[in-house]
């Protein structure tokens, strides 16, 4: 044995092991990762704050010159020395179409996710999951063109049936609109957000602890009872997150809605019917981008964008509260 390989004398400090060698870099990496994470979080908060400050600073001067109530008026005339613009019609169209989309997409998406995670064979599960992910990547303009050319003739007879037999009900009162109605916008948005709800719910349901499911089955539960008592409660926060993410997509969708929307004529009467037309916040801003030629006109559209920003923020805040209340079950 050479001198270099001889064991150290009694009392000398032990030679560093491979674990000791990894410890210092690991701690240094943790510090760098912590700094990067904090920096990313601060950057996101700062960016959102800057966007909010910009919207408010640009909207306030325009609102100060508005001659009508911004929240309750349906008028939209931003030119001249006495602009008159309100968001009531846009608010109704945006929220109603989004609610219709959620009412359709969330139940179907959850059912598809449960089928893929609990019932489908492995080969079908992988293929279907890939197709769902591909649907989420389809551009909005494709959905808009498909909805206008292919899907509109399918929905039109359903709307005629509703107006004929349920026309006495305000939500289905006939309006004579032949283009994109609020109901049709909601159906197209539902198809667009369905992959989001399905993909996220599928991933959440797949994380359900196996002992929870096996315990339910061992106590004599059927397949559906196991899903109802173990899978759904565990995945509820994830489903809420998926629904809120999809709702945010529906509220802010622009291109597809711009293709299929039917703009109401100025001075048309107000109606609660889902078979009427109307513009959303995003489509109104996109259709009138050519009017951004003066601070007053631009400020009016930015004020509408501010309402959409606040609406989306409130939706996400409510979702966060719901998720926090449900978190105790999974911990």
What confidence tier does 25 reach under pLDDT thresholds 50, 70, 90?
low
Boundaries of domain holding 276: 89-330
Q: What's the pLDDT at 102?
A: 93
What confidence tier does 187 reach under pLDDT thresholds 50, 70, 90?
very high
Q: What's the pLDDT at 172?
A: 87
Question: pTM for the complete prediction?
Answer: 0.82
DSSP, res 117:
I
Q: In whole angstroms, give the CA distance from residue 77 to residue 87.
A: 12
**CB distance 139 to 145 below 8 Å:** no
Q: What's the pLDDT at 267?
A: 66
User: What does the pLDDT look like over 237-290, one tens digit per residue?
Assistant: 889 888 988 988 888 888 888 888 877 766 677 788 888 888 888 888 888 877
Residue 276 neighbours by CB under 8 Å, 6+ apart: 175, 177, 181, 182, 264
Question: At 316, which CATH number?
Answer: 1.10.3720.10
CB count in 10 Å sphere of residue 282: 22
Per-residue pLDDT at 16 exceeds 70: no
**CB distance 148 to 260 below 8 Å:** yes
Number of domains the chain is built from:
1
User: What does the pLDDT look like over 98-145, one tens digit per residue?
Assistant: 999 999 999 999 999 999 998 888 888 888 888 888 888 888 888 888
Residue 50 domain flag: no
- CA distances, 327 to each of 79, 109, 210, 321, 323 (Å): 51, 22, 19, 10, 6
Residue 52 domain flag: no
Residue 66 domain flag: no
DSSP, res 16:
P
What confidence tier does 331 reach under pLDDT thresholds 50, 70, 90?
low
Per-residue pLDDT at 45 exceeds 90: no
Residue 275 domain flag: yes
Task: Tell me the average pLDDT of the chain.
Answer: 83
Residue 71 domain flag: no
User: What does the pLDDT look like over 52-79, one tens digit per residue?
Assistant: 899 999 889 888 888 888 888 888 888 7
**CB distance 96 to 274 below 8 Å:** yes
The CB-side HSE value for 6 (13 A sphere, CA atoms) comes to 7
Q: In whole angstroms, give the CA distance from residue 325 to residue 236.
A: 11
Per-residue pLDDT at 314 exceeds 60: yes
DSSP-derived secondary structure for 135-162: HHTS-HHHHHHHIIIIIHHHHHHHHHHH
Percent of the chain with pLDDT over 70: 89
Residue 231 domain flag: yes
Residue 253 domain flag: yes
């Amino acid at each position: 044995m050479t001198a270099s390989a001889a064991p150290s004398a009694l009392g000398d400090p032990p030679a560093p092991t491979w674990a000791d060698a990894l410890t210092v870099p690991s701690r240094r990496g943790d510090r760098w990762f912590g700094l990067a994470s904090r920096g990313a979080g601060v950057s996101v908060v700062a960016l959102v704050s800057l966007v909010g400050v910009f919207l408010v600073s640009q909207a306030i001067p325009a609102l100060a010159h508005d001659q009508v109530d911004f929240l309750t008026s349906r008028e939209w005339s931003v030119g001249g020395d006495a602009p008159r613009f309100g968001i009531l019609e846009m608010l109704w169209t945006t929220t109603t179409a989004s609610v219709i989309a959620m009412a359709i997409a969330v139940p179907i998406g959850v059912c598809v996710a449960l089928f893929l995670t609990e019932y489908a064979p492995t080969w079908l599960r992988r293929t279907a999951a890939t197709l769902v992910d591909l649907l989420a990547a389809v551009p909005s303009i494709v959905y808009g063109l498909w909805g206008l050319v292919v899907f509109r003739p399918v929905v039109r007879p359903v709307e005629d049936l509703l107006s004929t037999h349920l026309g006495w009900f305000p939500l289905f009162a006939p309006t004579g609109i032949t283009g994109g109605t609020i109901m049709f916008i909601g159906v197209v948005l539902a198809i667009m957000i369905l992959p989001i709800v399905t993909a996220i719910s599928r991933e959440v349901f797949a994380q359900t602890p196996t002992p929870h499911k096996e315990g339910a089955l061992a106590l004599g539960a059927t397949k559906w009872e196991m899903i109802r008592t173990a899978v759904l409660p565990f995945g509820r926060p994830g489903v809420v997150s998926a629904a809120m993410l999809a709702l945010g997509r529906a509220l802010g969708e622009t291109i597809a809605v711009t293709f299929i929307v039917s703009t109401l004529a100025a001075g048309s009467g107000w109606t609660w019917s889902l078979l009427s037309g109307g513009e959303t916040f995003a489509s109104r801003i996109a259709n009138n981008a050519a009017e951004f030629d003066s601070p007053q006109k631009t400020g009016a559209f930015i004020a509408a964008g501010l309402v959409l920003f606040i609406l989306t923020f409130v939706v996400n805040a409510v979702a966060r509260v719901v998720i926090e209340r449900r978190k105790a079950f999974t911990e």
